[in-house]
Amino acid sequence: MARAAVLGASGYLGGELLRLLTNHPRLAIAQVVSSGHPGTSLAALHPELPALAGLTTVAGADAVDADLAFLAQPPGEAMKVVPGLLERGIKVVDLGPDYRLPSPELYAATYGMPHADPAHLSEAVYGLTEWFSEPVRSARLVANPGCYPTATLLALAPLLAAGELAGPVIVDAKSGTSGAGAALTAATHHPEAALTVQPYGLPSHRHLPEMRSALERLDTPAPPLVFVPHLVPVVRGILCSIYPTPAPAAHPDSWADALRAAYAGSPFVHVGGPPRLGWATGTNHAFLSVTRSGEAPVLFSALDNLGKGGAAQAIQNANLMLGLPADAGLTAAGFGV
């Protein structure tokens, strides 16, 4: 039984990691770290996880004694602890953004602070698992992708790789409010969030540089991307409605088959009709769809921002890094309703 620590246990991604790990047959919870709530009984912090009621949170990364640490912390925190963890031989999956971008310069421009650990930034493997499984297997540091990039890239990568796209790609994303995290904000205050659809992140969203650089990592020519996220009044789930401009010689009628072929080896990425968000809730599954509006091709991509877009993909990456079966702990299915 491999052993994992979870840092940032009081946030939503940390909670989802713990939820999934309580049902993981090969990876045990070694420590639960919460800087904000040290010394707290898990029974109080996560009453939804009775199996953990006997645990208590510990305060710092120094207390970690495990094969792998999951970091689910705000921007800027992971890069403070990663060097120490790696030094002590502890593998890391970082669910935050600290190691997702290719250069300290781009990180500083995007997150408004200098990168504290450029040495490991260049070592980190971008953990879009279906596309980087080989480097993930041998990585000691994986940057788990953001929820929006995961949803967008799973749909676009096969088509870009095949040269089917040109010109701008418009991504109109709809996200549940859990994606905005546990911090209280007016945008996620129920009376102001429940009856509307809120565009945000304009004129530029932090996930756009991540998407662009991920496409560079894939050696695909990245088209201009227009990305507009919206908060919708659901809790979990992202639906990306994607409006691509096909290349002159493209064959949109073949796109669904191209997506199926690209993910034939993955138990987690599926191609079919327009997806319902619940199908992905709590799981590592993503659902893709290709259709058209008039003559224009339209793609849909759905996943759970806390699942395949967060904690579940982190476990998928950890499984590879630890030599465990790819789907260990990730076999639960999503909801019909």
Task: Figure out which of the listed residues 2, 6, 7, 19 binds a copy of itself, where binding follows CB under 8 A.
Answer: 19
Q: How far is the CB of 68 from a copy of itself (least distance, A)?
A: 20
- 319 in contact with a copy of itself (CB under 8 A): no
The number of residues in the chain equals 337
Residue 64 burial (C-beta neighbours within 10 Å; 0-12, 13-18, 19+):
buried
240 is catalytic: no
Which among 30, 61, 147, 165 is annotated as catalytic? 147
88 or 189: CB nearest a copy of itself: 189
3 state SS of 264: coil
Tokens of 301: 């991509």
Question: What is the longest distance spanned by two Cα atoms in the chain?
Answer: 61
- What φ, ψ does residue 281 adopt, rounded to 5°? -60, 125
Task: Figure out which of the listed residues 28, 43, 161, 247 binds a copy of itself, where binding follows CB under 8 A.
Answer: 43
- What φ, ψ does residue 229 adopt, rounded to 5°? -85, 150
Choose the stretch contacting a copy of itself; rule: CB under 8 A; options: 76-84, 124-132, 137-145, 169-177: 169-177
Element (H, E) at 167: strand 165-175
Task: Figure out which of the listed residues 116, 166, 170, 222 binds a copy of itself, where binding follows CB under 8 A.
Answer: 170
- Footprint on residues 182-201 left by a copy of itself (CB under 8 A): 182, 184-186, 188-200
Give the separation between CA 213 and CA 217, rounded to whole angstroms: 6
- Footprint on residues 251-270 left by a copy of itself (CB under 8 A): 267, 270
- Footprint on residues 264-303 left by a copy of itself (CB under 8 A): 267, 270, 272-279, 281-282, 285, 287, 291-294, 296, 298, 300
Q: Which residue numbers are catalytic?
A: 147
